[in-house]
């Protein structure tokens, strides 16, 4: 079936109902194979606007496909971004309700807290660091609405880049003095090492990833605001978890963050 702009809201409702009802759906491109990345971002924007109508508040953005290996695997040359809303923020001590998700996976991230507005189309990693007040260890819980977590690039962008939940550790540090481009990371599942990596996996430096996003947003007349949270991109492969599982991420210098599925 050919895609038309009039189908945007139909796709938004399709994805939102899947999220609310915790059920998998076939990917959008099965029905609209000609969907473009620009159209997918337009759908994403309308999806977030729909959530805002229901009371959600935008509090930042998240980056995806920030690994060169992932980009090559997906056949793309740049990262992607989605939005974070206040109801996605989970607290370490409360746990993650697995029954409210479809097939969740955990990714280790570094969270950036913006200390000032940042907008433009020639923003650099240094600009990002200078505008950042704090960084902290984080875990993003991704939960694609698509069947078997299988999708194309445009599908995942339309689905707000599989955004679901995120947890931030309680150790917040100024980026000054930290070697954010080469922080070691270990992710544990139930006490056993599951993934190891370095922040350099995120486009060489997490701030480079965020600079890309700011420039991408800037082309649309948008940007980051003071107080925004930015998840700069996954440092390793995501791991699946179930109720009863505990996931912990430990960073060199930056501390740790964890949660338990319930």
Better-predicted residue by pLDDT, 65 or 165: 165
Q: Report whether 135 contacts 254 (CB < 8 A).
A: yes
Instruction: Kindly state the average pLDDT of the residues 147-163.
Output: 93
pLDDT at 168: 97
pLDDT at residue 68, rounded to an integer: 65
The pLDDT assigned to 70 comes to 63
Confidence band for 138, pLDDT divided at 50, 70 and 90: very high
Q: What percent of the chain has a predicted confidence (pLDDT) above 70?
A: 94
> What burial class does residue 239 get, using C-beta atoms within 10 Å of its C-beta: 0-12 exposed, 13-18 middle, 19+ buried?
middle
The topology under which CATH files domain 5-260 is Fumarylacetoacetate hydrolase; domain 2 (3.90.850)
- Tokens of residue 198, six digits: 């370095």
pLDDT of residue 76: 61
Q: What is the mean pLDDT of residues 166-188?
A: 94
Task: Give the model's pLDDT for residue 151.
Answer: 87
pLDDT for 4 equals 67
Contacts of residue 241, Cβ cutoff 8 Å, sequence gap at least 6: 96, 98, 104, 105, 106, 189, 247, 261
Contact 108, 195 (CB under 8 A): yes
User: What is the band of 190 on the pLDDT scale with cuts at 50, 70, 90?
Assistant: very high
pLDDT-based confidence at 179, cuts 50/70/90?
very high
Whether the pLDDT of residue 59 is over 80: the answer is: yes
Task: Outline where 29-152 has alpha helix (H).
Answer: 37-53, 68-74, 125-131
CB 151 within 8 A of CB 144: yes
Q: Residue 69: what pLDDT?
A: 60
CA-nearest of 90, 103, 209, 213 to 150 is 103
pLDDT digits over 67-87, tens only? 766 656 666 667 899 999 999
Every domain of the chain and the residues it spans: 5-260
Question: DSSP strand E in the chain: where?
Answer: 58-64, 80-85, 89-90, 105-114, 132-142, 165-168, 184-189, 192-198, 229-231, 239-240, 246-251, 255-260
Task: Find all residues with CB under 8 Å of 262, minimum gap 6, and list them.
Answer: 95, 96, 97, 98, 243, 244
Average pLDDT, the chain: 92
Contacts for 38 with CB less than 8 Å, ≥ 6 apart: none
- Minimum mean pLDDT range among 1-5, 61-65, 159-163: 1-5
d(CA 19, CA 180): 34
| pLDDT, mean of residues 120-127 | 96
Nearest to 167 by CA among 255, 48, 67: 255
* Residue-level pLDDT at 9: 87
Query: What's the pLDDT at 75?
Result: 63
The per-residue pLDDT for 248 is 97
| Residue found under tokens 């999220």 | 19
Instruction: Note whether 199 and 235 are within 8 A (CB).
Output: yes
* Rg of the chain, C-alpha, whole Å: 17
| pLDDT for 73 | 61
């Amino acid at each position: 079936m050919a895609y038309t702009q009039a189908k945007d809201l139909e796709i938004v409702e399709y994805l939102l109902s899947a999220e609310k009802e915790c059920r998998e759906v076939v990917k959008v491109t099965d029905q609209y194979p000609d969907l473009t990345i620009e159209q997918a971002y337009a759908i994403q924007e309308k999806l977030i606007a729909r959530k805002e109508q229901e009371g959600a508040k935008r509090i930042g953005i998240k980056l995806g496909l920030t690994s060169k290996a992932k980009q090559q695997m997906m056949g793309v040359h740049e990262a992607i971004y989605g939005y974070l809303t206040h109801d996605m923020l989970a607290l370490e001590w409360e746990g993650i309700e697995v029954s409210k998700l479809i097939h969740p996976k955990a990714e280790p991230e570094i969270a950036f807290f913006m200390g000032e507005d940042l907008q433009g189309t020639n923003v650099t990693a240094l600009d990002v660091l200078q505008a950042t007040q704090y960084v902290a260890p984080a875990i993003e819980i991704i939960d694609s609405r698509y069947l078997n977590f299988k999708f194309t690039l445009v599908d995942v962008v339309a689905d707000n880049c599989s955004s679901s939940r995120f947890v931030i550790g309680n150790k917040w540090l100024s980026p000054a003095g930290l070697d954010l481009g080469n922080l070691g990371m270990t992710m544990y599942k139930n006490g056993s090492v599951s993934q190891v990596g370095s922040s350099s996996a995120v486009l060489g430096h997490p701030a480079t990833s965020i600079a890309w996003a700011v420039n991408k947003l800037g082309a649309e007349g948008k940007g980051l605001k003071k107080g925004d949270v930015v998840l700069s991109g996954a440092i390793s492969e995501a791991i699946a978890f179930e109720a009863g599982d505990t996931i912990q991420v430990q960073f060199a210098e930056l501390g740790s963050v964890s949660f338990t599925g319930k």
